[in-house]
Each structure stands twice: as structure tokens, then as C-alpha cells.
Amino acid sequence: MEQTYVMVKPDGVQRGLVGEIVSRIEKRGLKIIAMRLNVIAEATAKEHYGEHAERPFFPSLIEFITSGPSVSMVVEGKDSVKVMRAVNGATNPVDAAPGTIRGDFALDVGRNVVHASDSPEAAAREIAIHFKDSEIAAYSRVDEVCLYE
């Protein structure tokens, strides 16, 4: 099974959307195998968003993502990277379909509630930034026989 990194950003935590987002992930059939609520350290945020370091929005992105608690998760399932990107909706909430997290709960690209890795390679990198191997729990869901052929 594929793993991906998902974050409920500080705006999602502040708005009380964590339960709704976790529920959507689980109802879709994906499995949460690690989860943490914390304020991300500045150095960790800079490592996570390193590919944007030269962009003009980088300083404000780091300031925002470290401004309050966020929820980091490792989510597992078949094609979890693609599935989570679809569950989240388009990065710009204006383009996000109704029924997606961003389509239902966000209005601005700078406050779009959630992050999910955009590739399996990015997922592996982001998971390693936020979690130790010992913090990831391997287990089987009782409904997996109903989810996968």
C-alpha cells in the first residue's frame, strides 16, 4: 500500500475542521497510520517547503504554517497520493469542486486548509521530515476486504 503525507494547516485547526477532515479521509477508505498535533518548528517548515524557497511568497508561507498548531498525518491506501489530492481538491479553492475539502471549506489559496503530497517521492520525503519510523503504526483495518479486490 502507498503512503502519503497530509497536513491540516493552522487555518483548518483554528476553524475546528480536524474532525471533519479526518472523517473524510477514513470514510474514503484510507487508513491513518500516524497523526500528531503540534506547532511546526521554523526549520522543519523550511525543509518541508524547500522547493519554494526562492518564491516571493516563501516567507509568508513559513510564517503562516508555523503560526499555530497543525495536524500531520501519514495516510495509507491504494493510490493514496492521488486519492488524497482528489479528496483535498484543487490547490486554488476557487477551482476546487464542491464535495472536496477545499471546495467546501476554503476561499483563498493562502488559506486552503490542507496539504497533501503531490507524488510518491514527495510523500516519502515529507513523511521522513515529520515522523520517525517508530511513530508509524502498521495495522490492518477490518474493512480492507471490502475496500480492495
Catalytic residues: 115
Query: Count of alpha carbons within 13 Å of 23, Cβ hemisphere only?
Result: 6
What's the rounded Cα separation, in Å, for the pair 38 and 7? 11
> Grid coordinates representing 133?
519510523
Distance of CA 140 to the CA centre of its chain: 21
CB distance 65 to 10 below 8 Å: yes
∠ at Cα 24 (22, 27), nearest 5°? 105
Contacts of 134 (CB under 8 A, 6+ apart): none
Q: Which residue has the cell 495536524?
A: 71
Is residue 67 helix, strand or coil? coil
> Grid coordinates representing 33?
497510520
